């Protein structure tokens, strides 16, 4: 697998390459705009050129975008749905401009409606955005992230993902980002080789392993099935080191990108700051057989 982390794009997305190189990333996850604001300045020709120059200078690939956390295309409110839809479209078009092949987004939360209505709203958004970005971002794959199941969030059941991939497409431009913490929180065990094999077989039966395009590697601060999205450092949560070894030594995932979304820093006993992406990447690599 090509291991990496979610890297800061402060000062320009192209700067993420240098930061990723410094900590030993083979791949990386980025925001191309603020994840907490609706509006953003369009990418300039200079922005795009700087990104492509940096990409050519570093052996860091594939890159994936994480879409804004504000987007909720499961919303029952028409104004918020449209605002979310337009934001999602912009995110996809920006990825297309930069030549980034994958964009991950949270399916959404149905809030005060119901599960069936929320799923229908997401599928509506997917079908529309695939059509409207067919020319501007034909090589960008939209990846639905597996979710933890907290609140009214959708995408935590494999059945949700299968329905969205079918009703939102079908399209080769739709895929899945498999988040280890979220899947574990949702109740799918991946800790032992046997549990991992059973969960992946279930995913294959319901969704299809070929729909997985990227991974988020995060341990979990809470036990199996607690539906709490709290990321822990690799091997320091309830998934444990063996859980990640299951993925890393599975030949089916050779060449696939896996990105850390774990806490960036910790303090040692003397109060010194430790760069934890470096530690977590080293832990992952130590698990390769």
Closest by CA position to 110, among listed 51, 150, 83: 150
Choosing from 145, 160, 211, 259, which is the catalytic residue?
145
CB 261 within 8 A of CB 220: no
- 59 is a catalytic site residue: no
19 is catalytic: no
Q: Which of 2, 6, 94, 106 is catalytic?
A: 106
Whether residue 21 lies in the annotated active site: no
Q: Are 27 and 277 in contact (CB under 8 A)?
A: no
- Choosing from 2, 94, 182, 211, the catalytic residue is 182
C-alpha–C-alpha distance, residues 273 and 289, integer Å: 31
Residues 6+ positions from 110 with CB-CB distance below 8 Å: 74, 75, 76, 117, 118, 119, 121, 152, 154
Q: Taking the C-alpha atoms of 166, 167, 172 and 178 in order, what is their torsion angle to the nearest 10 degrees?
A: -70
**Helical H runs in 207-275?**
241-248
Residue 191 a catalytic site member: no
Helix-strand-coil split of the chain, %, nearest 5:
40, 20, 40
166 catalytic, yes or no?
no
Is 69 labeled as catalytic in the residue annotation?
yes
User: How large is the C-alpha radius of gyration of the chain?
Assistant: 18
Catalytic residue among 22, 69, 166, 194: 69
Helix axes 241-248, 193-206, angle to 10 degrees: 50
Cβ pair 11, 26 in contact under 8 A: no
259 is catalytic: no
61 belongs to the catalytic site: no
- 6, 121, 216, 259: which one is catalytic? 216
Catalytically annotated residue among 167, 204, 250, 261: 261
The verdict on whether 273 is a catalytic residue reads no
What is the 8-class DSSP label of residue 217? E
**Cis before 261? omega within 30:** no
Q: Which of 2, 160, 211, 231 is catalytic?
A: 231
Q: Would you please indicate which residues are annotated as catalytic (active-site) residues?
A: 36, 66, 69, 106, 145, 179, 182, 216, 229, 231, 261
């Amino acid at each position: 697998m090509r291991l990496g982390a979610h890297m800061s794009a402060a000062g320009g997305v192209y700067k993420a390459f240098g930061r990723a190189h410094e900590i030993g990333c083979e791949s990386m996850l980025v925001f191309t705009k603020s994840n907490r604001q609706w509006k953003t300045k369009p990418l300039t020709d200079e922005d795009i050129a700087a990104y492509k120059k940096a990409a050519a200078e570093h052996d860091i690939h594939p890159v994936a975008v994480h879409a804004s956390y504000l987007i909720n295309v499961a919303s029952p409110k028409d104004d918020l749905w449209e605002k979310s839809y337009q934001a999602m479209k912009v995110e996809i078009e920006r990825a297309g401009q930069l030549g980034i092949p994958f964009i991950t987004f949270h399916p959404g939360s149905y809030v005060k409606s119901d599960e069936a209505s929320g799923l229908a709203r997401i599928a509506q958004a997917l079908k529309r955005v695939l059509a409207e970005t067919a020319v501007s971002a034909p090589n960008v794959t939209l990846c639905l992230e597996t979710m933890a199941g907290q609140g009214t969030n959708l995408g935590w059941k494999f059945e949700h993902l299968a329905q969205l991939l079918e009703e939102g497409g079908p399209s080769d431009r739709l895929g899945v980002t498999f988040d280890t913490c979220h899947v574990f929180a949702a109740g799918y065990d991946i800790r032992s080789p046997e549990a991992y094999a059973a969960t992946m077989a279930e995913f294959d039966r319901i969704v299809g392993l070929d729909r997985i395009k990227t991974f988020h590697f995060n341990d979990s601060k809470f036990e199996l099935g607690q539906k709490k999205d709290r990321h822990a450092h690799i091997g320091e949560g309830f998934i444990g080191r063996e859980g990640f070894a299951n993925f890393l030594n599975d030949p089916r995932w050779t060449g696939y990108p896996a990105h850390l979304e774990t806490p960036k820093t910790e303090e040692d006993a003397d109060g010194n700051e430790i760069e934890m992406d470096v530690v977590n990447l080293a832990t992952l690599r130590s698990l390769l057989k």
